[in-house]
Chains A and B, each alone.
Chain A
């Protein structure tokens, strides 16, 4: 790589993601043990998921259905005859000494999500959970390791993208779209901290404009989008520095420590392996029938990317609001219910109230689960829109509605929040000017900002029933400013 002295070569990162999604099925991939949610270790096990002699796997049809939904959501081609393979390696979290996975005939291929091409979608089983008795929590230097087989055999879908991502930010944004899409499908909890969504990234850099790929490294198991972004940024910077110094990138698997920001080589089962894949003789080929595919297709809801596009196109929402309503589908659903319920409510105002005010009040939970009804929400936004109550009063009413429900008109009446009529407001302003003679004196002396004291007095007197901007205008008018 030659560059003129003092001229830094511009490098372009190339990123592909490998995503593991734990499916929210009732039972495990190849046995009838219920999935585990923090039960006592080794209480959700059977001869199959413990790898006892003579036990045989039987595929979970619900997992196949979910995997088909995912593959179809990405527009993948569905394999006419998908195969399960054995991926062989020894590790204590792998009771059979092999993982049942898919290899050269995955369930889905050649899909797309957003701007990113999906290379493949396949089904496999999760490993058990190892707990290492060491200060680092990692196996090296551990005195003992304990295996909890509750997680072992949980259905996983692995999604592999093409190397279409060009920045850490883009990778994280794609991750969020993927997470929102899978949540919308209802096939997984997609919780990164709990490990039901796990993202590994392959990253390399190359001179901008080059079409060849550089040597890649793999970043393992980053458990938030923020860490994914930071880990990728750190690794891209490391690779750039190596290349700038004329050194080569070595293909390896790295662990990113979000606390220190350090990248360290991962020396474990993930070292270079010959997995000796061969077709799983305990299972017959997985042949998705037309019925299975039709059923999976029917189960597909409108997906976040389509929905955001529709909100912008049909309702004229701003891109940010449309994205948030589409990604947090409960908010989006509530928004659409309210839009349908409140005749004439302005979609953009309703969207802003949903993403700014309602979202802040319900947190991560579903607004439909709160006492607030979609009708009441639409009425409230209409009241503000028609300037019958002030925005500030609207927020107070929303607090009450979210906490205890009710009718916004009744609350406005009960609290006397109806916007003051203009003759009433005239009187109150004049009164405030009389009672704040010192402020008026200051204003006359040139300290115009003293207007605030008078406006504040009016607002107090109207207990929020007046619009701040209107009061400001009136005060200034009457003082001849």
Chain B
């Protein structure tokens, strides 16, 4: 059993192909652990998996899926009371693709309500705990997926990233998480938070597993008008050297607000990169300091419309009232948590007549400036590098009453989201015994390049401690 848990997904697939393990054994082992989850990482666990042909690309290694992806017949709540008990009649394209590639659904993972949060404390169904220190948050919003992978409760998982929701929890839990280019993965069946930013992506123990999972998630989908797929197949990276690779350290994301332990790990990683043959120089993203402000106008604006459908009329929670307006108000007052309400109000305000130009239109212009900043940077370097999170995992409750401090958790990840470019977080070491994430980002559609470099660096960094196997008591 312990041996099975020690294997990454590539090793599990190889063992299944060699007949040393059956996909059923793998599924059952993880299912049992997920069912006894001590971290609050799961909201629903599958009873059994479909038999999978060991020749299938993913050979039956099961995947944990953030509860934001609709799965036919499986409760899907986005960790909100307003969708408690909701069972979708169809399955998200990304989940269908993974199932078709031989990765059955292991369970639905906990998250911040409607993906709004950076600590997973905004779940209506309780927080997720960080397997490295259970008094600390796993990050968010894909906190359940990251904690499940880090804690050995899932071989791998998928999440969604709007402003850092894959990369930041991956960093805080010491695993690898990748946000693809906007449009690489279909959003069909993915419950919307901010449509122009939301992207699905993999969370795994290492870069190679991450690449393999991503390979089977991407593709243009006729059901999503904004999906484009990737121009080439995602390849599992092999590189060990970085000769000729030009890396740019983002000056604006290395200064104030970055913990010294985090900065230290990033600097050590850059030194290793140079050892592997890369050149490292400083680059500037002059508008990056405005990214958080722009993001917290644009994302809430889109969310205020995306969440209007939860009105008590057709599905989910309904709290009756004396008339239609009272029913709407009662339902949404009872169904949404505080952070979701805050963002709906922010977004509604930003779109209101008389404020649109000052807020929404200005934020869009900042977004364009940030796209231009990255374009200029990528004219000089191949990839840019920064910390993923300015801090290591913080304590549960530490930032719940300070939304601004919470929003700043995403200061390093939001610029890439606004630019729609691919970015990965890999563990770069420990600070105070807690994992630090290194972020590597590239131009649109440069996923293979990002994965290659991340893989080579990962080998050199030789991070240990994943899985951070949590003990589970048999159910």
Contact = CB atoms under 8 A, between A and B. Distances in A.
A95 interface: yes
Interface in A46-87: 47, 50-59, 86
A409 to B, nearest CB: 60
Contact of B70 (A54, A274, A277): A54
Given A92-B313, A95-B309, A281-B196, A53 B225 contact: no
Given A59-B225, A281-B195, A276 B348 contact: yes
A418 to B, nearest CB: 68
B302 A90 contact: no
A282 interface: yes
A274 B352 contact: yes
Contacts of B313: 92, 95, 147
Interface in A85-104: 86, 88, 90, 92, 95-98
A282 B225 CA distance: 7
A453 interface: no
A50 B311 CA distance: 12
Contacts of B279: none
Nearest to B78: A53
Task: Indicate the size class of the contact surface on chain B.
Answer: 35 or more
Interface string A30-58: 00000000000000000100111111111
B199 interface: no
A59 B90 CA distance: 20
A242 interface: no
B189 A54 contact: yes
A58 B93 CA distance: 15
B92 interface: yes
Interface string B282-321: 0000000000000000000110110111010111000000
A276 B309 contact: no
A50 to B, nearest CB: 6
Nearest to B192: A54
B386 to A, nearest CB: 26
A58 B225 CA distance: 6
B191 to A, nearest CB: 4
Nearest to A51: B309
A278 B305 contact: yes
B324 interface: yes
Tell me whether chain B's interface is mostly helix, strand or loop, or mixed: loop
B351 interface: yes
B425 interface: no
A57 B309 CA distance: 14
B90 A278 contact: no
B78 A96 contact: no
A373 to B, nearest CB: 47
B83 interface: yes
A248 interface: no
B217 to A, nearest CB: 16
A262 interface: no
Nearest to B222: A58
Contacts of B88: 47, 52-54
B407 interface: no
A42 to B, nearest CB: 10
Contacts of A340: none
A330 to B, nearest CB: 38
Task: Indicate the size class of the contact surface on chain A.
Answer: 20 to 34
A56 B188 contact: yes
Contact of B308 (A57, A98, A274, A283): A98
Contact of A283 (B225, B305, B324): B225
B315 A52 contact: yes
B89 interface: yes
Contacts of B2: none
A446 to B, nearest CB: 82
A31 to B, nearest CB: 9
A294 interface: no
B76 interface: yes
A57 B226 CA distance: 10
A376 to B, nearest CB: 51
Contacts of A277: 351
Contacts of B301: 278
Nearest to A30: B225
A56 B222 CA distance: 10
A58 B356 contact: no
Interface string B88-116: 11101000000000000000000000000
B27 interface: no
B315 A88 contact: no
A70 B219 CA distance: 35
A96 B191 CA distance: 13
Contacts of A47: 88-90
Interface string B70-93: 100000101000010010111010
B309 A274 contact: no
A54 B308 contact: no
A284 interface: yes
Contact of A276 (B89, B90, B324, B352): B352
Most buried by B among A88, A90, A277: A90
Contacts of B353: 274, 276
A88 B351 CA distance: 10
A88 B308 contact: yes
Given A88-B351, A90-B311, A56 B223 contact: yes
Given A52-B315, A53-B78, A278 B225 contact: no
A97 B351 contact: no
B44 to A, nearest CB: 16
Contacts of A282: 192, 195, 224-226
A284 B70 CA distance: 23
A56 B225 contact: yes
B360 interface: yes
Nearest to B190: A54
B305 A88 contact: yes
Most buried by B among A53, A274, A277, A281: A53
Given A56-B224, A96-B305, A276-B352, 6 more contacts: A52-B70, A52-B90, A53-B83, A54-B189, A88-B304, A281-B302
16 contacts: A47-B89, A54-B187, A54-B189, A55-B188, A58-B223, A90-B328, A92-B313, A95-B309, A97-B305, A97-B308, A98-B305, A139-B324, A278-B302, A282-B192, A282-B226, A283-B226
Which 8 A-B residue pairs are closest in the complex by CB-CB distance?
A97-B308, A276-B351, A281-B195, A281-B196, A54-B189, A53-B191, A51-B309, A54-B70
